[in-house]
Structure 1
Amino acid sequence: MTILRRRRSPLTVEPVTEPESESDATTTLLPLFPLQTVLLPGTKLPLHIFEPRYRQLTADLVSGTVPGREFGVVALRSSLTREVRGLDQLYEIGCSTVLREAKRLPDGRFDVVTQAQRRFRLTDLDCVSAPYMIASVEWVDDDPVAPAGDMAERLAVVARTAHRRYCETAWRSDDWNAPEADTELAELAYQLAADCLLPLEDRQRLLEERHPLRRLRIACRLLIREAGFLDTLGAVPLPPGELTDLGKPASLN
């Protein structure tokens, strides 16, 4: 499996019909795709699928064998892991994603695009019942919060400013997008982080935070820190289009 990082060169794909919404059960079974990356809700994940077990998963998603065409992505705790055998090798909190587009290649590989949906907590792992792993999960919602009013608005402005500073330093103008003005507070931190090359542990921290204001504050601090690093070092990360193999060494695909 290769994570396709170039957002500005979309795949030519065959559309997959949108799945009907499922009821939000407390627990469920999800096919599991461990990666050396953290998937944040609302973001898109393009993948190149080539290993047999994940080709089978993709075929099951396309055919509707997997309910809702939804599977889980969870980060590996160690980049040295080559085969997952227990929960201790994975972070507890991951994110589900839904297959949106798929193109089957002549040799059986797939190029796919998925859309991240909702967070979950791993409770059990089945490594033998199917070619790919199946996880028992509990859905994770945000904590209820009282209206934050002006404080939330001010924090959002500061976070957006930090995001713009980072992106204008790191990327070309067509390599990033500012979140829409009407983006909900609960989603803003995820969208701001999506354009930035934050370390895995920082992205996991954002994923696990259940208080929307606290999550946005964390994102703001991380973006200010990273922009400061860029200014201090006088260096910029590689353009997104040149980062296509970041997940490859630790991939289970």
Structure 2
Amino acid sequence: MARITIFPLSGAVLYPRLQLPLHIFEPRYRAMISDALARDRRIGMIQPQRPAEGAPLYTIGCLGRIDEVEALDDGRFNIILEGESRFRVLKELEVGTPFRQVEAEMIADREDEVLAPIERASFEREARRFADRQGYSVDWEQVSRLDDMALINGVSQIAPFDPASKQALLEAPGLAARCETLVQLMQFFGRSSDGDEDGATLQ
């Protein structure tokens, strides 16, 4: 078990081995970064279940290490957070700090998991369709050179889905399950962008 300082931010999801740039401006989160820099440089990214002060948290988040930091003259920070490990919240702690803290257990993800060739091909095919429908310009040659983990987690982190859908991707139990969920979401949101209900959410 570990005590983790958390940054609850709707729509911002971090994955192990990936980076997340953040601009820190609220006083409580500036204090959070200062505290983390003085200790082990680690904070946990996690989504609140709704965008409200003190809202309940989702169960799964990702611990990140502050890899780069730019301290601005007015007290704000620009940081790059490097994902290390997913975690599961056991309970939120009562603290005197302006930022929230939880007791959590680390989730040991398999780092050697790969997709079957048919899973990779299916994903790339759907990703091309989705990108075309959304009007995205993608360097597919560069995409083809990414390993399965970097590809699936990278797309999951930056995909333009709603917070609940991004959380479903983070909570997927493995790479194959995350890939399958991602394909379903691209199909679902692709249809929505073609004229179905606005703001549709896959629950």
**Fold match (TM-score > 0.5):** yes
Q: CA offsets per residue over residues 138-184 of structure 1, 9 Å max, x none? A: 01134799987xxx111111111211222233244269996453413
In structure 2, the partner of 1:237 is none
- Is residue 95 of structure 2 the alignment partner of residue 121 of structure 1? no
**Selected match of 2:6 from 28, 32, 38:** 32
5+ long unaligned stretches in structure 1: 1-26, 235-253
Structure-1 separation of matches of 2:113 and 2:23: 42
Considering only aligned residues, what root-mean-square deviation do their CA atoms show, in Å?
Answer: 3.0
In structure 2, the partner of 1:233 is 195
The change in CA–CA distance for 1:113 and 1:92 in structure 2 (over 3 A counts) is: same
Q: CA offsets per residue over residues 85-113 of structure 1, 9 Å max, x none? A: xxxx1111111122122111111111222
In structure 2, the partner of 1:51 is 26
Number of equivalenced pairs:
196
**Selected match of 1:83 from 54, 59, 75:** 54
In structure 1, the partner of 2:137 is 173
The change in CA–CA distance for 1:161 and 1:137 in structure 2 (over 3 A counts) is: same
TM-score by length of 2: 0.82
What amino acid is aligned across from residue 39 of structure 2 in structure 1?
A: V
5+ long unaligned stretches in structure 2: 197-203
Which structure has more relative contact order (CA 8 Å, sep 6+)? It is 1
The change in CA–CA distance for 1:175 and 1:72 in structure 2 (over 3 A counts) is: farther
Counterpart of 1:114 in 2: which secondary structure?
strand
- Is residue 166 of structure 2 the alignment partner of residue 203 of structure 1? yes
**After TM superposition, what 4+ stretches of structure 1 lie above 6 angstroms from structure 2?**
143-148, 174-177
TM-score by length of 1: 0.67
CA contact (8 A) 1:97 1:114 kept: yes
- Is residue 104 of structure 2 the alignment partner of residue 137 of structure 1? yes
